[in-house]
Amino acid sequence: MIDTHCHLEQKDYDGKRDALIAKCIASGLKAVVTCCARPQDFALTMDIAGKHPNFVFPVAGIHPEFIKEVTPEETETFLEIIKRNRDRIVGIGETGLDYNWIKETEWRKKQKELFIRMIRFAKRLKKPLVIHARNSPGAEGMDAYEDSINILEQEGAKCVQLHMFGASQLVQKVIDNDWHVSLNAIVLRSKKHKKIARDMPSDRLMLETDAPWLAPEGWESKTNDPRAIITVAEKIAKIRKTAFEELWQQCGRNAKEFFVLPVKI
Ligand SMILES: [Zn+2]
């Protein structure tokens, strides 16, 4: 099993990171993809990956929620750094549109420009893209999912992971484009995500935790970690009426192929 989306550089893990990674390995995980979402997290992310070769694999990008914090100059510098480290990273992201944290039209426009920049960057580096899209609750007429899909289509993006994708009405578009969806413990409570877990073809589905966030109910602490992937897999197997082992293997294979990970499933 592979956790295809978490954030191991977060402060929550300070002082216990290596012990946690050892526990992840002991619990049967084969790999963890950790997502560096802004320039200042890059050094630590690469350090964690360096300490745990062939188990922790980094993805790097600028999360759309940080659009106001990272200047265009810092963005360019960061992309240069990512480029220099291209052989050590397995994907670009997370990138996309976040209408929950960013409300102003001008900043949403800047998010779109950055998103396009990242899509083209990933294409040039021949790396898969990790997409974050989030809506503002109750907002009419603005749909981060729809806008993200339109931009990805416009740009002809091929190798795409829609992380925590929640727009069940758009699932056919995702399938038609041959993109992947990864789901986390939100499937335990969200109807829309449950529908996606049910409707995605088995070879397009991956599992994630988004740890340290989104701990499943009853988890041993408030801080989630990649071992919760087992709970996510159990729930999705139930939703799809598939044997746990079959889903576990299939999602692992999908992740290995998608990120081109040198691991045994
Ligand atoms: Zn994330």
- Tell me the average pLDDT across 151-170: 96
261, pLDDT greater than 90 = yes
> Among 70-74, 96-100, 137-141, which is the least confidently predicted range?
137-141
Question: How many angstroms separate the Cα of 175 from the Cα of each of 32, 135, 151, 164, 204?
Answer: 25, 21, 16, 15, 8
Question: How many angstroms separate the Cα of 219 from the Cα of each of 118, 222, 234?
Answer: 35, 7, 14
- In the numeric block, the tokens 């940080």 are attached to 66
CA of 249 relative to ligand 1 center, distance in Å:
23
Percentage of the residues of the chain whose pLDDT score is greater than 90:
97
pLDDT band at 265 (very low <50, low <70, confident <90, very high): confident
pLDDT band at 23 (very low <50, low <70, confident <90, very high): very high
CA of 94 relative to ligand 1 center, distance in Å:
6
Local structure of 181: helix, strand or coil = strand
Q: Give pLDDT, residue 141.
A: 59
Domains, the chain, in order of start with CATH, read 2-259 (3.20.20.140)
CA of 7 relative to ligand 1 center, distance in Å:
7
CA of 34 relative to ligand 1 center, distance in Å:
9
Going by the DSSP 8-state scheme, the letter that residue 223 receives in this structure is: S
Specify the DSSP element, H or E, that contains 112. helix 105-125
CA of 184 relative to ligand 1 center, distance in Å:
11
Q: Give pLDDT, residue 137.
A: 77
Strands (E) across the chain are located at 2-6, 31-36, 56-60, 91-98, 129-134, 160-163, 180-183, 205-207
| Chain mean pLDDT for the chain | 96
| CB atoms inside a 10 Å sphere around CB 115 | 26
- Read off the pTM: 0.97
Q: Return d(Cα 80, Cα 92) in angstroms, integer.
A: 13
For residue 109, what are its two tokens? Answer: 């426009």
Q: Give pLDDT, residue 139.
A: 62
- Over residues 26-48, the pLDDT tens digits come to 999 999 999 999 999 999 999 99
- Tell me the average pLDDT across 237-242: 98
CA of 194 relative to ligand 1 center, distance in Å:
19
